[in-house]
Each structure stands twice: as C-alpha cells, then as structure tokens.
Structure 1
C-alpha cells in the first residue's frame, strides 16, 4: 500500500464509529470520569448553543416586522428556523465531544 492510498475501512461508518468509541474509551482510561463542574459546564454550553441562534432569529424577525409593519410574520418562522439551527448545532457539538 502506498502513502496515497486510503484504507477501505476509512469510508465505512461502522469502522469510524468503532474507532471513535475506542478513542473515547482510551481517553476515559487516561483521564477518568469528568467532574461535576465539567458536566455542568457542558450543559451550559449546550444551552447557549441552542439559545443564541434563537435569540438572533427573534431580533432579526422583530426588526423585519417593524420595518415592514407585518405583525409577527417574520418573527415566528425565523424563531423556528433559529430553534432548528440551534438544535442541529447542539447535536453536532454533542457528537463531536
């Protein structure tokens, strides 16, 4: 195998998952269980990852509604979009952690 060829197992999601699990297990053996404060910090970060896009969407929606005098026409759908984006970002962050 030359240096430019890739292992066929690198494309398989099962192999990737097993390697990720093994890496996490080795890190756990090396570092031990995370402390309570670390877990609380992770929960706090996850909350902000979800809330910040929602707040940005609300502010943008309210500004658009004031500009076009449209009630809640922009705020409601942008809030849902912000929630979806925040949940997706939180999901991606949790899978990488």
Structure 2
C-alpha cells in the first residue's frame, strides 16, 4: 500500500497568537519601552483618528441640512456614522500594533 503524503494542517489560531506574542516580546527585548514622547504622539494620533471622521460627518450633515433646510435631519445621523467609523478605525489601529 502506498501512503498518501500528509497535507500540512491548517493554521491553528492559538499557535498564531503565540507566535505573534513571541515576536512582540522579542521586539520589546530588543527595543525596550517606548519613550514618553512617542506614547504621547500615539495618543495624539489616536485622537485625530477618532475625531476627524466625526467632524467630517457633522460637517457634511450640516451642509446637507442647510442645502435642503431639514433642521438636523442629516447632521445627527452622519455625525453618529462618523463617530462609528472613527471608533472602528481607532480600534483597528490599536490592534494592529
């Protein structure tokens, strides 16, 4: 009988997370902790990632409301949409690190 060559197993999420943690730990050992300035810069970037889509939604909503004379019919939902997009983007940015 001939044996079939074994196919490589699918990647295990637990093993992937362990490898990712190991890479981050090795990087921390090489580079050390971030400086205070770098941490403040990251907080600033995170704030802008969150605020800009919210303000863009509010601006576009106000423009639509002024154009169609609808009160805050467009301002509130587009601001909330911008808030959600900003939160999602900030979440993705934080978890990519």
User: If the TM-score is normalised by the length of the shorter chain, which range does it land in?
Assistant: 0.7 to 0.9
Aligned equivalent of 1:54: 54
Deviations 1:36-69 (A, max 9, x none): 0010001000000000100110110000001110
Residue 20 of structure 1 and its aligned partner are, at CA, apart by 1.4
Q: Which moved more, 1:13-22 or 1:52-61?
A: 13-22
Select the structure of larger CA radius of gyration: 2
- TM-score, structure 1 normalization: 0.87
Name stretches of at least 5 consecutive residues in structure 2 with no aligned partner. 1-6
CA RMSD of superposed structures (Å): 1.4
Query: Which whole-Å CA distance do the structure 2 matches of 1:7 and 1:19 have between them?
Result: 16
Query: After TM superposition, which residue ranges in structure 1, 4 or more long, deviate above 4 angstroms?
Result: none
- TM-score, structure 2 normalization: 0.87
Aligned equivalent of 1:30: 30
Query: Which whole-Å CA distance do the structure 2 matches of 1:50 and 1:92 have between them?
Result: 11
Aligned equivalent of 1:63: 63
Query: Which whole-Å CA distance do the structure 1 matches of 2:22 and 2:67 have between them?
Result: 54
